[in-house]
Amino acid sequence: MRLTLSTKYALLALEELARRGRPAPARELAAAADIPPAYLAKLVPLLARAGILATQRGRGGGVALARPAQTLSLKEIIEAVEGPEALQDCPFELAPCAGDPRCPLYPVWDPLRARLVAFLAQTSLAEVVRRTQRPKEEKDERNAERP
Amino acid sequence: MRLTLSTKYALLALEELARRGRPAPARELAAAADIPPAYLAKLVPLLARAGILATQRGRGGGVALARPAQTLSLKEIIEAVEGPEALQDCPFELAPCAGDPRCPLYPVWDPLRARLVAFLAQTSLAEVVRRTQRPKEEKDERNAERP
DNA sequence: AATAAAGCGGACAAAAAAGTCCAAATTAGG
DNA sequence: CCTAATTTGGACTTTTTTGTCCGCTTTATT
């Protein structure tokens, strides 16, 4: 349950990318989502290695979703950035009880954690895009859902 | 939603204290709960100022629960350690969207956050103690609930 | 009164997270 | 072939978190 700024940046960038529906340079996404460009540039390889982003080097290159946004879960994205164990241990941090039932806080937290992880697993990036209609700039909203 | 190690340490120490049912030196709690003593010593004033702990200086002194464990909510404890805004902003970290409905992640997270905060608000320290019966050392369990 | 045991506060050190910068590799376009 | 645009990886700095240390004050016990 260690969700850092990196996770947020990744989600914001991916959401922007999914909203556009086509490849874009990472810098462009960083600018649009108000993320430090150099920091996002370090997250891109993590997402690429996890099979979430497809990258294209060189002029005219950029990043694209490696799979349709419907198939990219928040859980998967979080694990790519924070590591696979991030959602296992309790939100009250790691040692000395990471996922250990003997931890005094385990019985209190674990049911809640399980529900949270289930929610993250079943919520896709597409769902995030769908739920977040920007309040401003509602230019062409008719075919935005079905590109 | 910024839950750090400090929160965990505070909860572990308070749980140990509540389990004992009587005042104890902070060092003793740290040793029992396997917490860095010097670190816990820095958390004590935060909890004392928040009206969660009552401290007694000098020889024979120590810390005690300022109020019955039934009336101490996890939410209150967390806010004392992390600051009052810790449970307001989204788990994907602070800026640029702390509790701001315009954040792209807000509609996804906020319902979940609300439920989590409600859970923390209605779960008391006594509840934690009750749910966490130590696997070992089950000496006198009969009147442990009603001191 | 002296001593020992305790909380308090400030300064400091170590580790992790957040952020920046730059050179190298890659690739399209002129 | 050359240049511009892009990702990649490493080194680096800054900030925050975590942890330690020490001296001060307070207070019960002797």
- Residue B39 belongs to some domain of the structure: yes
- Residue B139 belongs to some domain of the structure: no
Give me the B residues in range 37-56 that sit within 7 A (CB) of strand D: 37-39, 41-42, 56
Whether B80 and B10 have beta carbons less than 8 Å apart is answered as: yes
The H or E element spanning position B121 is helix B106-122
- Residue B22 belongs to some domain of the structure: yes
- Residue B144 belongs to some domain of the structure: no
Output the six-digit token pair for A41.
């540039």
- Residue B105 belongs to some domain of the structure: yes
The domain of B99 spans 5-131
What is the pTM for the complete model shown?
A: 0.80
Q: How many domains does chain A have?
A: 1
Q: What is the CATH number of the domain that holds B80?
A: 1.10.10.10
Percent above pLDDT 70 for chain B: 76
Q: Compute the nearest-CA separation of A60 from chain B (Å).
A: 28
pLDDT digits (tens, 9 = 90+) for B23-71: 999 999 999 998 999 999 999 999 999 999 999 999 999 999 999 999 9
Higher pLDDT, B5 or A20: A20
- Residue B73 belongs to some domain of the structure: yes
- Residue A139 belongs to some domain of the structure: no
Rounded to 5 degrees, φ, ψ at B138 are -105, 65
pLDDT digits (tens, 9 = 90+) for B104-147: 667 777 777 787 888 889 899 998 888 776 554 444 444 443 43
Contact residues on chain B for A40, CB-CB shorter than 8 A: none
Contact state of A8 with B92 under an 8 Å Cβ cutoff: yes
The H or E element spanning position B81 is helix B74-82
